[in-house]
Amino acid sequence: MNLFVEPVGVSHFLLVGAVLFVAGVVCMATKRNALGVLMGIELVLNGANLNFIAFGSPYFRETSLGLDGQFIALFVIVLAAAEAAVALAIALNFYNNHATIDVDRADELKG
């Protein structure tokens, strides 16, 4: 279909969400920097958020989730911010103890 002329549907948003999600998963799997892993998590959460927004949008389907989609997305954003703060605090603490944030080096329980 020619997207220049035809309106987009939920599927197109889902596709973008899927790309973001997979990019995030690969990022989490390949990065050894703790902050890189954190960025992967943010990408995954955004991919999920995009799906919620797309399903909640009244423009694409007649039976949409309505505002519930936006509510869930809001909560995800807020919780992601909280999660990032805690993860960053842990990373800083780890850096103070080990002088690195390489996640492969975090294999001992003794600080």
Residue 43 as a binder of another protein (CB under 8 A): the answer is yes
Minimum CB distance to another protein smaller for 96 or for 108: 96
Q: Please, which residues have CB within 8 angstroms of residue 2's CB and are 6 or more apart in sequence?
A: none
The count of chain residues that interact with another protein, using the rule CB under 8 A, is 78
> Using CA atoms, how far apart are residues 3 and 92, in angstroms rounded to an integer?
46
- Residues near 83 by beta carbon (within 8 Å), at least 6 away in sequence: 41
Asked whether the beta carbons of 12 and 78 are under 8 A apart, the reply is no
Contact between 105 and another protein (CB under 8 A)?
Answer: no
- The reply on whether position 48 binds another protein by CB under 8 A is no
Under the criterion CB under 8 A, does residue 12 sit at the interface with another protein?
yes
Binding flag, residue 109, another protein (CB under 8 A): no
Report the nearest approach of another protein to the CB of residue 106 (Å).
Answer: 13
